[in-house]
């Protein structure tokens, strides 16, 4: 690990855990489980705190509804012990895709097709 990377890891949080979080987790954390994205979930021995160590970029939408409910103490038992029963019509969880090429583009959006395909729009020109 280069010197710059170790300095950035000491002060930044958006690309993984900081040294402070790593030390706190090693001293007080009890691993509760891991989701399909590779995020690891911890709690303190007395269950006063719950947290997640993200696999890669820190993005809250990467947490599934099951684990989100456990983190916010909506559920007492983690999804590893009691998984949520999903209804047939529910779609699988996907992370937020805003700012990526896979983001939603509504009908008529300029991102949806090549510009020459938008013939139903005419530019206004004053008389």
Q: Residue 56: left if φ>0, alpha if ψ -120 to 50, beta else—which one?
A: left
Task: Check the CA dihedral 9-24-35-103 and report its sign.
Answer: negative
What are the tens digits of pLDDT across the range 49-89? Answer: 999 999 888 888 889 888 999 999 998 999 988 888 878 88
Residue 113 neighbours by CB under 8 Å, 6+ apart: none
Q: What's the mean per-residue pLDDT of the chain?
A: 83
What are the tens digits of pLDDT across the range 94-109? Answer: 888 888 888 888 877 7
Phi, psi of 34 (to 5 degrees): -145, 140
In the chain, domain spans: 3-84
Of 63, 57, 54, 33, residue with least CA distance to 42: 33
> Is 51 in contact with 45 (CB distance < 8 Å)?
no
């Amino acid at each position: 690990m280069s010197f710059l990377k170790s300095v950035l890891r000491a002060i930044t949080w958006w690309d993984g855990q900081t040294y402070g979080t790593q030390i706190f987790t090693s001293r007080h954390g009890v691993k509760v489980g891991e989701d399909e994205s590779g995020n690891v979930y911890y709690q303190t021995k007395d269950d006063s705190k719950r947290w997640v160590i993200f696999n890669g970029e820190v993005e809250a939408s990467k947490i599934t509804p099951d684990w989100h409910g456990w983190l916010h103490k909506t559920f007492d038992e983690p999804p590893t012990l009691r998984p949520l029963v999903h209804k047939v019509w529910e779609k699988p969880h996907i992370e937020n895709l805003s700012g990526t090429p896979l983001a939603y583009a509504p009908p008529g959006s300029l991102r949806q097709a090549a510009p020459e395909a938008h013939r139903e729009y005419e530019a206004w020109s004053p008389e």
